Amino acid sequence: MDTHPLRLTADGLLLREWTSEDLAVMQKLFDDPDVAYRTPLESPFGQAAAQRYLHSTRQARRGNERIHLAITTDGHQALGEVLLNRATGSIGYIVGAAHRGQRLAVRALRAITEYAHTTGALPQVILEIEPDNHPSIAVARSAGFHPSNSAPETVTDKGRTYELLTWEHRLTTGRG
């Protein structure tokens, strides 16, 4: 297992691992009503939650389970997060409210998808998106994901029950 800091550059982005210097910005990005509604992240997301989250991202990386990367344009200021769950082949992303509308999610999703296919050797990766999450569906389509034939998954989280549709991206062989 590689424990060197992971950095991916693509399409004007530098994706990097979270550091303890990011705790305050994590709070700002993740303590948001939309994030609380659409993700399993703690809410409210304060200092203690940020510390727990940072610890869990480091544990997941050491265990080769998940990769959590801050989305930046300059290598410093985090604007969101993209993550890859190696076990399930699923990807997730969050862009801070103040940074939406810049195609950050699409660019980060394309970069982590390419990483998953090439470096991670995953022939298929998936997204799980609620049917009414139109911004996330637009990101998925723009990044080359397609709805799968899988049945929706019913999830209950934070007292809310909802369905998740699976979107997939398959490694292409270069033909066509």
User: pTM (2 decimals)?
Assistant: 0.93
* Residue 44: cis peptide before it, omega within 30 degrees of 0: yes
Q: Does residue 176 have a pLDDT over 50?
A: no
- Tell the burial category of 94 from Cβ atoms under 10 Å away from its Cβ (0-12, 13-18, 19+): buried
The model's confidence at residue 172, banded by pLDDT at 50, 70 and 90, is: confident
Question: Which residues does 137 contact at the CB level (< 8 Å), separation at least 6?
Answer: 129, 167
The torsion angles phi and psi of 160, rounded to 5 degrees, stand at -120, 135
pLDDT digits (tens, 9 = 90+) for 39-68: 999 999 999 999 999 999 999 999 999 999
The model's confidence at residue 69, banded by pLDDT at 50, 70 and 90, is: very high
The closest of 65, 52, 54, 67 to 4, measured between CA atoms, is 67
pLDDT digits (tens, 9 = 90+) for 95-149: 999 999 999 999 999 999 999 999 999 999 999 999 999 999 999 999 999 999 9
